Amino acid sequence: MGRLPPLLALGLVPSLLAQPRLSVSPASISFGTHAISAGATEPQAVTVTNTGTLPVRRLDLRVEGRHASEFAVIPSALAGPLAPGESLEVTVAFDPLWPGPRQAAVAITGDAPRVVIDLFGAGLAGHTATLAHPISREPPVVSDAPPVVDLFFPQGQTAPVRITVTGEVLNPVSDRLFGQLAERHRADHFELGIEGAFSAHAGDWRPGFTDLVEALAPTVIRFPGGVSAERTDWHWAVDNVPGRLSATDFGRRGRGRLAQEETPGIFTTYRVGTDEIAGLCARTGAEPWFVVNMAGYRDHPALGASVAADWVEYCNAPHDGSNPRGGIDWAAIRAANGHTEPHGVRLWEIGNEVWSWPAHMEPGRYREIVPLYVEAMLEVDPTIEFIGLGQRGPWAEVSLDAFGDRLRYVTRNCYALWQIRQSVTEQDLWRAVLTGPPQDFLDEIAETRRAIEARGRAGDVRLAVNEWNVNVSLEFAPSRPRVTHYLTMIGAAAILHEFIRRGDEIGLAAMSSLAGMRWQINTIRFPTDLEGPPRPDATHAMMALYRAQHGGERVGVALDDCPAFDVAQPVGNIPVRLAQPLLNVVATRSTEAVFVHILNGAPRETVECTLAAAEAGADARGPVEIHQIAGGDPLWVDPHPEEFAVRVTPVEADQGVVALALPPGSVTVVRWQR
């Protein structure tokens, strides 16, 4: 039945058998901002106490996580038994390698249940120096001049590339591919995400934000994360929850909500919640895609399932007094918050990467827990669609078993140019990013498809790419090439082309991340002081263009006289790839038009080509429009934000053929009326 979420309810769980049990104080450390050249910070102490009833005889400490190499913990192992009630002190230091927010965790394992100490800090850019603590690395080489680029056409282009669109229908293309991830990040991570798009003073979205989202027109918006989903209780971000002061007590919407103190004096707020995202979706025509917290209830799955069912009730139950689960009438609470009509949320993802921090859940445990969530949530609304885990080894098979015929999607994320460890140049990045998704993503798609087909579900279960983008990670690289927003955009377009090509396998996707202040992957960007208006980043123009100009089925494309290039060495998670076509072309079709999407991979040269689409049903006489994003030097200098705008040029067909001159590094969509 409906109930309040406070973890006081966990007191009803019977005590566990006698065992060693650890507590840590503090549970997290924020080192603040620290200059890269300053060496390691002063160590900060953490007290580890055995609060159990048996001695701890084995204790291992290690730093893990995305930026583990920039933190150090001493000692790394326990010297002797730790009796019940006894404590020991460990110290942690921070020595950033790169500017920007850094995150890791000290994991303490052994013969007591695992505990973690969350670590946060930020590197301050400056002259790099050799590290002082025991992490040995040469200082990176920072580029300070435009690179020498070997041209793709050193002798000039000898013949135009011929693009022919055929009438062969290859696969469907779902509108749900054009979604966005709206993630709320921790305040001490120096990136607020979607929370930064909301004004605490006005109790509403910041001026200009919803206009940019409307222009972007995402088909789905995923919320609240990401890893943030596994540390969020949905009740924290709605008003008028029984037992809390109401919004009217504070005189403004969102002011009666809870906040989490991540580190002393730094609070993560919850002003963006269910109603705000559902309202944003309603205004912009997007579907809400909500992610249920499973990790927070790993050891208490019945309570977690009940909390999830209450969320479905808040979103979808009619305000008619029916109160489908008894207890708190969540539809009435929603109405009190100004929403008498249901939000109608269809897409529900159960857990986010629960094999990782903070849950560290095994596949078998996920299989056991999922049916509890499915049963409780379907009791409220039998029409919802479930999204299960699909990444890493057996997880797709586990989801297929656990959800049964209620499963519609399994998840996988896709970040290109991740964890680059080689010395690379701007041109190496450019060539790699043109080739689309990393190989592990493509391999796991194939593995997932085999699992789906083996269970006879190929017709109704597809992949949901729940986070994706070009996320250039240079923290382990010995060189420091420039990374432009333009490179991120054209790489994201190359990934999107592959999603379109695999429309029979991929039916849902959310680009990371809709809004933020600091990260390269933000679609809409705010000033770090939150004082100025938001502005669209490069990927905003590309995603808005593809959202508006695409068809529901992919048709064949033939390329003739197209030069090729090689990715001669691995670049992060992009492997060696040979004989890659210079033009990345995919074609789609609607009942009204044929759409030809073209990336020009030559960063410094215009490419001449001809386009014919009569076989796909294009009218030989037109009309034809060229929608194009181009400008600046994509390897070195980002153009002004206004130059990311899409330029539309009408052209005429000559006997069913259109001549094109594709600017360097451009994104082009040709819309040819049928």
CATH number at residue 101: 2.60.40.10
Quote the mean pLDDT of the chain: 87
Q: Of the residues 516, 532, 549, which one is the last residue of a structural domain?
A: 549
Residue at 443 is within a domain: no
Q: What is the pLDDT of residue 640?
A: 61
Q: What is the 3-state secondary structure (H, E, C) of 561-623?
A: CCCEEEECCCECCECCEEEEECEEEEEEECCCEEEEEEEECCCCCCEEEEEECHHHCCCCCCC
Q: Which long-range contacts (CB under 8 A, 24 or more apart) does 372-375 make?
A: 372/301, 372/302, 372/304, 372/305, 373/292, 373/294, 373/301, 373/304, 373/305, 373/308, 373/309, 374/350, 374/402, 374/403, 374/404, 374/406, 375/305
Separation between Cα atoms, residue 499 and residue 514, nearest integer Å: 19
Q: Are residues 197 and 86 in the same domain?
A: no
307 Cβ contact partners less than 8 Å away, ≥ 6 residues apart: 5, 233, 234, 235, 293, 297
Work out the average pLDDT over 167-172.
97
Residue at 141 is within a domain: no
pLDDT at 2 over 70: no
Q: Are residues 166 and 190 in the same domain?
A: no
Range of the domain at 197: 174-437+463-549
Work out the average pLDDT over 475-497.
91
For 539-595, what is each residue's pLDDT tens digit?
999 999 999 999 999 999 999 999 999 999 999 999 999 999 999 999 999 999 999
Residue at 416 is within a domain: yes
- Are 377 and 310 contacting, i.e. CB atoms less than 8 angstroms apart? no
Q: Bridge-partner residues for 71, per DSSP? A: 94
Separation between Cα atoms, residue 84 and residue 79, nearest integer Å: 16
How would residue 235 be classed by pLDDT, with cut points 50, 70 and 90? very high
Residue at 641 is within a domain: yes
315 Cβ contact partners less than 8 Å away, ≥ 6 residues apart: 274, 278, 288, 290, 334, 342, 343, 344, 345
For 298-315, what is each residue's pLDDT tens digit?
899 999 999 999 999 999
Q: What is the pLDDT of residue 639?
A: 63
Q: Are residues 583 and 666 in the same domain?
A: yes
pLDDT at 245 over 70: no
Domains: count for the chain: 3
Which range of 135-144, 340-349, 446-455 scores highest in mean pLDDT? It is 340-349
Residue at 496 is within a domain: yes
Separation between Cα atoms, residue 2 and residue 7, nearest integer Å: 15
- Are 73 and 90 contacting, i.e. CB atoms less than 8 angstroms apart? yes
Separation between Cα atoms, residue 211 and residue 137, nearest integer Å: 46
Work out the average pLDDT over 422-436.
94
pLDDT at 537 over 60: yes
Q: Are residues 541 and 654 in the same domain?
A: no
Q: Are residues 71 and 120 in the same domain?
A: yes
Q: What is the pLDDT of residue 100?
A: 63
- Give me 477's structure tokens: 């690289």
Separation between Cα atoms, residue 346 and residue 606, nearest integer Å: 45
Q: Are residues 220 and 266 in the same domain?
A: yes
Of the CA atoms within 13 Å of residue 26, those in its CB half-sphere come to 14
Match 């950033």 to its residue by tokens: 96
Residue at 410 is within a domain: yes
Q: What is the pLDDT of residue 536?
A: 93
Report the percent of the chain where pLDDT is more than 90. 60
Q: Of the residues 549, 581, 612, which one is the last residue of a structural domain?
A: 549
Residues 653-674: b if buried by 16+ CB within 10 A, e if exposed? beebebebebbbbbbbbbbbee
Q: Of the residues 514, 549, 584, which one is the last residue of a structural domain?
A: 549
Q: Are residues 514 and 598 in the same domain?
A: no
What is the DSSP secondary-structure string of 538-565?
HHHHHHHHHHHS--SEEEEEEEES--EE
Q: How far is C-alpha 262 from the chain's CA centre? A: 22
CATH number at residue 575: 2.60.40.1180
CATH number at residue 397: 3.20.20.80
Could you give phi then psi for residue 546, rounded to 5 degrees? -70, -35
Of 611 and 65, which is predicted with more confidence? 611
Work out the average pLDDT over 138-165.
66
Of 391 and 187, which is predicted with more confidence? 391
Give the E-state strand segments of 2-66 in sequence order: 22-25, 28-35, 44-50, 59-64
Q: Are residues 513 and 561 in the same domain?
A: no
Q: Are residues 539 and 589 in the same domain?
A: no
Helix (H, G, I), strand (E, B) or coil at 465: strand
For 333-362, what is each residue's pLDDT tens digit?
999 999 999 999 999 999 998 987 666 889
Q: What is the pLDDT of residue 36?
A: 67
pLDDT at 328 over 90: yes
The maximal CA–CA distance of the chain, rounded, in angstroms, is 87
Q: What is the pLDDT of residue 105?
A: 85
Q: What is the pLDDT of residue 6?
A: 39
Amino acid at 40: A
For 649-668, what is each residue's pLDDT tens digit?
999 999 999 999 999 999 99
For 260-289, what is each residue's pLDDT tens digit?
777 777 788 899 999 999 999 999 999 999
Separation between Cα atoms, residue 301 and residue 453, nearest integer Å: 30
Residue at 11 is within a domain: no
Q: Are residues 188 and 83 in the same domain?
A: no
Residue 637: how many other CB atoms lie within 10 Å: 12
Helix H or strand E encompassing 267: strand 266-269
Residues 326-341: b if buried by 16+ CB within 10 A, e if exposed? eebbbbbbbbbbebee
Separation between Cα atoms, residue 516 and residue 212, nearest integer Å: 13
Handedness of CA 49, 55, 58, 64 (dihedral sign): negative
301 Cβ contact partners less than 8 Å away, ≥ 6 residues apart: 368, 369, 372, 373
- Please choose, from the candidates 407, 398, 234, 397, the residue with its C-alpha nearest in 3D space to the C-alpha of residue 313: 234
For 58-84, what is each residue's pLDDT tens digit?
888 888 776 777 888 887 666 668 899
Determine which of 135-139, 384-388, 491-495, 561-565 has the lowest per-residue pLDDT on average.
Answer: 135-139
Separation between Cα atoms, residue 541 and residue 261, nearest integer Å: 36
Work out the average pLDDT over 460-487.
91
Q: Are residues 106 and 249 in the same domain?
A: no
Q: What is the pLDDT of residue 17?
A: 47
For 124-139, what is each residue's pLDDT tens digit?
654 332 222 223 233 3
Q: Are residues 81 and 109 in the same domain?
A: yes
Separation between Cα atoms, residue 330 and residue 78, nearest integer Å: 49
Residue at 315 is within a domain: yes
For 363-381, what is each residue's pLDDT tens digit?
999 999 999 999 999 999 9
The whole model's pTM is what?
Answer: 0.80
Which range of 27-31, 33-37, 177-181 scores highest in mean pLDDT? It is 177-181
For 616-647, what is each residue's pLDDT tens digit?
999 998 899 999 999 767 777 666 666 678 99
DSSP state of 633: B
Q: What is the pLDDT of residue 505?
A: 96
How would residue 14 be classed by pLDDT, with cut points 50, 70 and 90? very low
Work out the average pLDDT over 157-161.
89
